[in-house]
Amino acid sequence: MIPAPFDYVAAESTASAIDLLAQHGDNAKVLAGGHSLLPMMKLRLAQPAVLIDIGNVPELAGIAATADELVIGATTRHASLASSDLVRTEAPLLARAASLVGDPQIRHRGTIGGSLAHADPAADLPMALVALGGTVELTGPGGTRQVSADDFFIGYFETALAEAELLTAVRVPRRPGVPWGYQKFVRRANDWAIVGAAAIDGRIALANMGPVPLRALAAERALAAGVRPAEAAELAADGTSPGEDIHADRAYRQHLARVLTRRALEHRS
């Protein structure tokens, strides 16, 4: 498995990365941790002519707090999220999700921005961000805009990133002490979820139940109406059309969504 030939350039700043993206257009891909992109390149499912490395751009990494939010740089590593006292206190669901990504090697190289931009519907961090009601900052030649997690994922491995835009930061609400639940069913430890469920503050997100991380809206409405969690969880799969593969058919995934949602609602931290 050998990638097609490509050029490599290391961006020195966010502005230089955006200039390079504008210059090379669809022929360029952004490299951060590389754990999603490089395997695709080895299989030649992705064949960029230019790799733009943003891994050493200082302003793209780090975790800070505002009055209401945590602001997380796009190249912040999963391991940093999982071990951060600030994240574990103010957004513990996110810390838990990051701690379950792959194995230690992946967590020490992979980045939150890379995971979100890759937009795998079975991945931990997209589901976590949807459950948390977070937003992403997208910066391009025209400036910076914020897009909610609900609107950022638009299809299978597709996002709202426009041409020459770079995901530069992630924002999540601070919710210290708010109960939350996080469940995923996997074939082996460290695998992507066959199905996942995350719940906090009346929001429920599902992984691998469609082409994007989904909100369990019928279950959320039931909870808001005062229905008991176990009964609300029975509605978790309503409106979903999960795919089928060697691990699970559609009916089994819908069953898992109901079971995992009940567990996420009833066994909250």
How confident is the model at residue 33, as a pLDDT?
A: 83
Listed residue (45, 46, 57, 55) closest to 13, CA to CA: 57
In this prediction, residues 54-68 reach a mean pLDDT of: 95
Tokens of 202: 């009346």
Question: Does position 100 have pLDDT exceeding 80, yes or no?
Answer: yes
Long-range contacts of 184-192 (CB under 8 A, 24+ apart): 184/100, 184/124, 184/260, 185/256, 185/260, 187/247, 190/100, 190/102, 190/103, 192/120, 192/122, 192/123
Q: What is the mean pLDDT of the chain?
A: 94
pLDDT in tens, 34-51: 878 888 888 888 898 999
| Cβ burial, residue 180 (10 Å; 0-12/13-18/19+) | buried
180-266 architecture in CATH?
A: 2-Layer Sandwich (3.30)
Which stretches does DSSP call E strand in 28-134?
28-31, 50-53, 63-65, 69-73
Give the pLDDT confidence score for residue 106 in this predicted structure: 86
pLDDT tens sequence across 213-227: 999 999 999 999 999
pTM above the 0.85 mark?
A: yes
Strands laid side by side in the 203-207 sheet = 180-185, 195-200, 203-207, 214-215
- 58-173 CATH pick, 3.30.465.10, 1.10.357.10, 1.10.3720.10, 3.40.1440.10: 3.30.465.10
Task: Count other C-beta atoms under 10 Å from residue 73's C-beta.
Answer: 22
CATH of 7-53, one of 3.30.1450.10, 3.30.43.10, 3.20.10.10, 3.40.640.10: 3.30.43.10
How confident is the model at residue 43, as a pLDDT?
87
